[in-house]
Amino acid sequence: MYQALARSSGNVLGYRCSDQITGAEVREIHREIRDAIEEHGQVRFLIHIGDLDLPTAKAVWEDLRLLPVYVADVERYAIVGDAKWQEWLSGITDRLTRGEAQHFPADRLDEAWDWVRES
């Protein structure tokens, strides 16, 4: 499940993800990303991952299939969470996007917001 965070504004999109993310939810997030890119040119993300299970194969496929659509338009990508696979994911994301990606432990959420909004 995902939830848009109230601190999202303009070209900064924040989401909290927990439990299991479905392929349909990944498509919805990607739609919101494309809309923000159309409006602002580039986007910045913060993904706060709580007790998220490893994504389903279908969700991973949807994410990989849709990623090239906006990969050049990502300025910053913050992944917030404590699982080791989340830190690994930020390293992969950093290589796949032209922008910067960084991992933050869950207790540094405010710092992650500051970093993703930083000019």
Question: What letter represents residue 32's amino acid?
Answer: E
Q: What is the model's pLDDT at position 78?
A: 87
The arrangement of strands across the sheet holding 100-104 comes to 2-4, 12-17, 43-49, 74-80, 100-104
pLDDT tens digits for 11-66?
999 998 877 777 788 778 888 888 999 999 999 989 888 766 555 545 554 555 55
Counting the structural domains of the chain, the total is: 1
Query: Are the C-beta atoms of 37 and 66 separated by less than 8 Å?
Result: no
Instruction: Name the pLDDT band for 90 (thresholds 50, 70, 90).
Output: low
Please determine, for residue 91, whether its predicted confidence score (pLDDT) is greater than 70: no
Q: What is the model's pLDDT at position 10?
A: 93
Q: What is the model's pLDDT at position 61?
A: 46
Phi first, then psi: give them for residue 21, nearest 5 degrees: -95, 130
Please determine, for residue 116, whether its predicted confidence score (pLDDT) is greater than 70: yes
Which DSSP string corresponds to 10-56?
TTEEEEEE-S---HHHHHHHHHHHHHHHHHHSSEEEEEEESSPPPPP
Instruction: Name the pLDDT band for 81 (thresholds 50, 70, 90).
Output: confident
Please determine, for residue 4, whether its predicted confidence score (pLDDT) is greater than 80: yes
- Residues of the chain with pLDDT > 70, as a percent, come to 70
Q: What is the model's pLDDT at position 33?
A: 85
What CATH number has the domain bearing residue 26? 3.30.750
Q: Which domain holds residue 75?
A: 2-117
Q: Tell me the torsion sign for CA atoms 62, 26, 99, 50.
A: negative
Computed over every residue of the chain, the mean pLDDT equals: 78
CA dihedral defined by 111, 48, 73, 94, rounded to 10 degrees? 80
